[in-house]
Amino acid sequence: MLGDFSYSNPTKLYFGKNALDGLKEELPKYGKNVLLVYGGGSIKKNGIYDKVTAVLRECGKTVYEDAGVMPNPTVEKLYEGVKRARDAKADFILAVGGGSVCDYAKAVSISVNCKEDPWDRYYIRFEDVAPDCKIIPVGCVLTMVGTGSEMNGGSVITNHAQKLKIGHVFGDNVFPKFSVLNPEFTYSLPKYQMTAGFFDIMSHILEQYFSGGDDNTSDYIAEGLMRSLVHSSEIAVKNPTDYEARSNIMWTATWALNTLIAKGKTTDWEVHMIGQAIGAHTDATHGMTLSAVSLPYYKFIMPYGLKKFVRFAVNVWGVSPVGKTDETVAEEGLQAMEAWMRRIGLVMNISDLGVKEDMLDGIVKSTLIMQGGYKVLTADDVLTILKNSL
Ligand code: NZQ
Ligand code: ZN
């Protein structure tokens, strides 16, 4: 454990079948005007909307709605949400949905009282929230598992005109005040979204795991999380209402990206940068953009972090190293990951997401280059990885 760090996480979690009871404890702490933010309507079909609004009524709140948050929320929707929150004089924002809804709620919360254009300030210049900008507190009721947005400061916004999808990871003043995590609320997810979320979790862990060469407690935690995810995901794809599997996955997702396993590490995040660039050009489902490029990416960087790939193969996938070269062990680890990805039905090629060869140069231009992994990529490297992902 070589890196220096500080650690705190201010988000209170309510987990389990009765987690929504936590909302009754939390809402009285905030003002009367609540902006209820949700997506395209799934919460009306599965009954979560009725359950949440019943609690809001019971707590005597005046509710203003901001519906229609799309997957991969756009900057135009953000501007609309800011206006709604201002008109409502919102004291509190309640996000009910997946990562898109939670991310969007955070973006609105820090933009309502922002004197500048929030896209320019937060997503182009990567500046923090100004000290004199009052942040509207946010709470989440999570309905889709994967992003970790329920317990982190991440907020990803897409600007289609600029062909950019950018995530800003804010400090703990932007984290949700609380999140309600009821695994049963995720049962109605279509299989495609469910498995995309599973790979998003895996990718978050890999992005943090594949960096550094020290002996780091974070990596041991990461290995445990990956093993739990692989085990439970196989059960969940066969039986989506297996509570034990779905609850383990929900808990794993939260710990995969709530800053814990990044402690003491540089972390990589290049797969996410390539995935987000693909998202900016195709609007594809986040988790699938990651699954489609991960194997070509990890094969490409494997020689630069070989020892860690050997450890990954042995500790996560149970590959026996006896009598084999490091290269062989490392390759068998990635083969085991590929077999798992195919078993749970992930998208394995970017062409399946609508990417054509003539789009690759544009995607390269939209890809941010990170410094913390085993190889700092060049633009040519990104192009090679994308070609290998077609
Ligand atoms: O809009 P509705 O009708 O609710 O439908 C949604 C949406 O179509 C549906 N859904 C959600 N819960 C459901 C459900 N359908 C039926 N039953 C339910 N219980 O699922 C679809 C996808 O939802 P979305 O919120 O877009 O998915 P996800 O949670 O994967 O969020 C993706 C966004 O989060 C960002 C991504 O880039 C993307 O913009 N990320 C946020 C991160 C963070 N905050 O730290 C990190 C991640 O790496 C990621 O980048
Ligand atoms: Zn992700």
SS3 144: coil
What value does the mean pLDDT take over residues 212-237? 97
Distance (Å, whole) CA 149 – CA 72: 13
Q: Where are the alpha helices (DSSP H) in the chain?
A: 21-26, 42-45, 48-58, 75-88, 99-111, 118, 191-209, 217-238, 243-256, 270-282, 286-301, 306-317, 326-344, 360-366, 379-389
DSSP string, 299-347: HHHGGGGHHHHHHHHHHHH----TT--HHHHHHHHHHHHHHHHHHHT--
Q: Assess whether pLDDT exceeds 90 at residue 116.
A: yes
Q: Assess whether pLDDT exceeds 90 at residue 342.
A: yes
Take residue 322 and report the two structure tokens written for it.
Answer: 């006896």
- Is residue 97 in contact with ligand 1, taking CB distance under 6 Å? yes
Beta-carbon neighbours within 5 Å of ion ligand 2? 200
Q: Which atom of ligand 1 is nearest to the CA of 167?
A: 50
Residue-level pLDDT at 272: 98
Distance 144 CA to ligand 1 centre (A): 6
Range of weakest confidence among 1-5, 197-201, 269-273: 1-5
Q: Which atom of ligand 1 is nearest to the CA of 101?
A: 25
- Is residue 193 in contact with ligand 1, taking CB distance under 6 Å? yes
- Is residue 257 in contact with ligand 1, taking CB distance under 6 Å? yes
Residue-level pLDDT at 310: 98
Q: Assess whether pLDDT exceeds 90 at residue 2.
A: no
As beta bridge partners, residue 159 has 164
**Residue of 100, 198, 249, 290 with the most ligand 1 atoms within 8 Å of its CB, for mutation:** 100
* pLDDT tens-place string over residues 86-111: 999 999 999 999 999 999 999 999 99
What value does the mean pLDDT take over residues 116-127? 98
- Is residue 40 in contact with ligand 1, taking CB distance under 6 Å? yes
* pLDDT tens-place string over residues 296-319: 999 999 999 999 999 999 999 999
What value does the mean pLDDT take over residues 57-77? 98
Residue-level pLDDT at 170: 98
What value does the mean pLDDT take over residues 322-333? 98
Take residue 308 and report the two structure tokens written for it.
Answer: 């860690």
As beta bridge partners, residue 41 has none
Q: Assess whether pLDDT exceeds 90 at residue 3.
A: no
Left (φ > 0), alpha (ψ -120 to 50) or beta: where does 108 sit? alpha
Q: Assess whether pLDDT exceeds 90 at residue 82.
A: yes
Q: How confident is the model at residue 131 (pLDDT cuts 50, 70, 90)?
A: very high
Distance 33 CA to ligand 1 centre (A): 25
Percent of the chain whose predicted confidence (pLDDT) is above 70: 100
* pLDDT tens-place string over residues 373-383: 999 999 999 99
Q: Assess whether pLDDT exceeds 90 at residue 350.
A: yes
Q: How confident is the model at residue 1 (pLDDT cuts 50, 70, 90)?
A: confident
Average of per-residue pLDDT values in the chain: 98
- Is residue 183 in contact with ligand 1, taking CB distance under 6 Å? no
Q: Assess whether pLDDT exceeds 90 at residue 184.
A: yes
Distance 362 CA to ligand 1 centre (A): 25
